[in-house]
Chains A and B, each alone.
Chain A
Amino acid sequence: AQSVAQPEDQVNVAEGNPLTVKCTYSVSGNPYLFWYVQYPNRGLQFLLKYITGDNLVKGSYGFEAEFNKSQTSFHLKKPSALVSDSALYFCAVESGGGSQGNLIFGKGTKLSVKP
Chain B
Amino acid sequence: ETGVTQSPTHLIKTRGQQVTLRCSSQSGHNTVSWYQQALGQGPQFIFQYYREEENGRGNFPPRFSGLQFPNYSSELNVNALELDDSALYLCASSQKTGTYEQYFGPGTRLTVT
* Interface residues, chain A, with chain B CB atoms under 8 Å away: 32, 34, 36, 41-46, 49, 51, 90, 92, 94-96, 98-108
Sample 5 A-B pairs with CB under 8 A, ordered by A number.
A43-B4, A45-B2, A100-B56, A101-B96, A101-B99
Given A43-B105, A43-B106, A102-B33, A90 and B42 touching (CB < 8 A)?
yes
B residues less than 8 Å from A101 (CB atoms)? 31, 33, 48, 94, 96-100, 102
A residues less than 8 Å from B66 (CB atoms)? none
Establish whether residues B2 and A43, one from each chain, have CB atoms under 8 Å apart when the complex forms.
Answer: yes
A residues less than 8 Å from B92 (CB atoms)? 43-44
A residues less than 8 Å from B33 (CB atoms)? 101-103
In the complex, which of the residues A43, A44, A105 contacts B44, with contact meaning CB atoms closer than 8 Å? Answer: A105
In the complex, which of the residues B40, B45, B104 contacts A43, with contact meaning CB atoms closer than 8 Å? Answer: B104
A residues less than 8 Å from B31 (CB atoms)? 101
Interface secondary structure of A, over-half rule: loop
Establish whether residues A49 and B101, one from each chain, have CB atoms under 8 Å apart when the complex forms.
Answer: yes
A residues less than 8 Å from B105 (CB atoms)? 43
Establish whether residues A104 and B45, one from each chain, have CB atoms under 8 Å apart when the complex forms.
Answer: yes
In the complex, which of the residues A46, A51, A104, A106 contacts B102, with contact meaning CB atoms closer than 8 Å? Answer: A46
Query: Could you tell me the distance between the alpha carbons of A45 and B107 in the complex, rounded to whole angstroms?
Result: 12
Q: Which residue of B lies closest to A96 (CB)?
A: B56
Query: Could you tell me the distance between the alpha carbons of A41 and B40 in the complex, rounded to whole angstroms?
Result: 12
B residues less than 8 Å from A104 (CB atoms)? 45
Establish whether residues B42 and A32, one from each chain, have CB atoms under 8 Å apart when the complex forms.
Answer: no
Establish whether residues A95 and B45, one from each chain, have CB atoms under 8 Å apart when the complex forms.
Answer: yes
Establish whether residues B42 and A107, one from each chain, have CB atoms under 8 Å apart when the complex forms.
Answer: yes
Establish whether residues B45 and A103, one from each chain, have CB atoms under 8 Å apart when the complex forms.
Answer: yes
A residues less than 8 Å from B35 (CB atoms)? 103
Question: Is residue B90 within 8 Å, beta carbon to beta carbon, of the partner chain?
Answer: yes
B residues less than 8 Å from A32 (CB atoms)? 99
Residues 39-57 of chain B: 1 if any A CB is under 8 Å from the residue's CB, otherwise 0?
0111111001000000110
